[in-house]
Amino acid sequence: MSADTDPFGLTAGLPPALAEIVEDFNALPEKERLQLLLEFSTNLPALPTRLEGHPELMERVDECQSPVFISVEVDGEGRTHLHVSAPPEAPTTRGFAGVLQEGLEGLPAEQVLDLPADVCSRLGLERAVSPLRMRGMSGMLARVKRQVRVALAA
């Protein structure tokens, strides 16, 4: 998106995959954005076997009403890998997790840390989902950044 097509700077400071997701949401009328979020919920990858059934190996996102757990790994090349456990009966929460997973997977750790704090609100979902759910997504992003900082410090 150029300045001409993104006059509000919604994609400024975002890595390409996440910028594309933000563009996709904002290209839709408000009523259809929730449907796109629900599509992301169905695309959330399954946990790796070593994490499946082991929430104690992951960090709980307390801001989420549903039991959401996150684990972030930074590989030897400094790239991040996000794993999220979110229940199928919480499709909005799973959708947010799917957005983050798709938008952040494989990014250099420093790029994840540089993400703007308002990423969640750039999706244009404030009128479609409750403020509590928006805080949940912000909480997920905060956990991701915290875990990346811890991994880099190790």
Q: pTM for the full model?
A: 0.90
Cβ atoms of 14 and 73 closer than 8 Å? no
Cβ atoms of 25 and 40 closer than 8 Å? no
* Predicted confidence (pLDDT) per residue in 16-74, tens digit: 999 999 999 999 998 899 999 999 999 999 999 999 999 999 999 999 989 999 999 99
The pLDDT value recorded for residue 37 is 94
Domains of the chain by residue range: 16-153
Task: For residues 114-131, give the mean pLDDT.
Answer: 86
The pLDDT value recorded for residue 8 is 65
Proportion of the chain above pLDDT 70, given as a percent: 95
The pLDDT value recorded for residue 90 is 92
Q: Is the pLDDT of residue 1 over 50?
A: no
Q: Write down the mean pLDDT value for the chain.
A: 91
The pLDDT value recorded for residue 82 is 97
145-148 CB contacts, 8 Å cutoff, 24+ apart: 145/112, 145/113, 145/115, 146/59, 147/59, 147/70, 147/71, 147/72, 148/72, 148/74, 148/80, 148/109, 148/112, 148/113
The pLDDT value recorded for residue 80 is 97
The class that CATH gives domain 16-153 is alpha beta
Q: Is the pLDDT of residue 4 over 80?
A: no
